[in-house]
Amino acid sequence: MKRFTSIILAVAFILAIFVSAPQVSSAAKYNQNIAANPLGLIFGVLNVTYEQQIQPKNSFTVSGSYYSYSTDWAAGTIGGSYRFYLMQEDKRAIEGFSFGPLAQIAFWSYNGSSASAYKGGTVFYIGAESAYKWVFAKNFSVEPIFSLFFPLNQVSGLSGFQSYGLGVNLGYAW
């Protein structure tokens, strides 16, 4: 519970800083963004996301992550999402509120005791995400994001993995 409270406080702090910033760049012509979640590093997660506008109010993302979950489990993931930007008026598709489905494949490995029967495996996840992206002067982007993951299969011995993600992506839009 302490970890969840720390995440909420960190996200609130970052939002407070950037919501009050007056230099939002809404007139720029950009349709791509690359971002990483520095808050995840506190919890052993390295995440990078690339987003490409495909229609005036839709985009597609491709993401890759590395999880270091406990001392025994680690995973590399690749995934994607389709984002809908339905609640905006005059903005580009990669700015403002978005939501949509996501899919992810995680390749888990077990690095614990060799006496254990656990070996790792592949887990397929589906879910949904919602985010709000601001693009500031010089195309700097800030995006608080919340994701829910539902595993379609299980890996023996992997328990307690959280099925949600909460973070703030910092990146560059062009």
| CA distances for 149 relative to 42, 51, 126, angstroms | 20, 19, 6
Fill in the DSSP letter of residue 43: G
Length of the chain counted residue by residue: 174
Tens of pLDDT, residue by residue, the chain (174 residues): 555 555 555 555 555 554 444 444 445 578 999 999 998 888 888 999 999 999 888 999 999 999 887 778 899 999 999 999 987 666 667 889 999 999 999 999 988 776 677 788 999 999 999 999 999 988 999 999 999 999 999 888 777 667 888 899 999 999
CA terminus-to-terminus distance, the chain: 38
pLDDT at 22 (0 to 100): 43
User: Which domains are seen in the chain, by residue range?
Assistant: 2-173 (2.40.160.20)
CA distance 16 to 173: 21
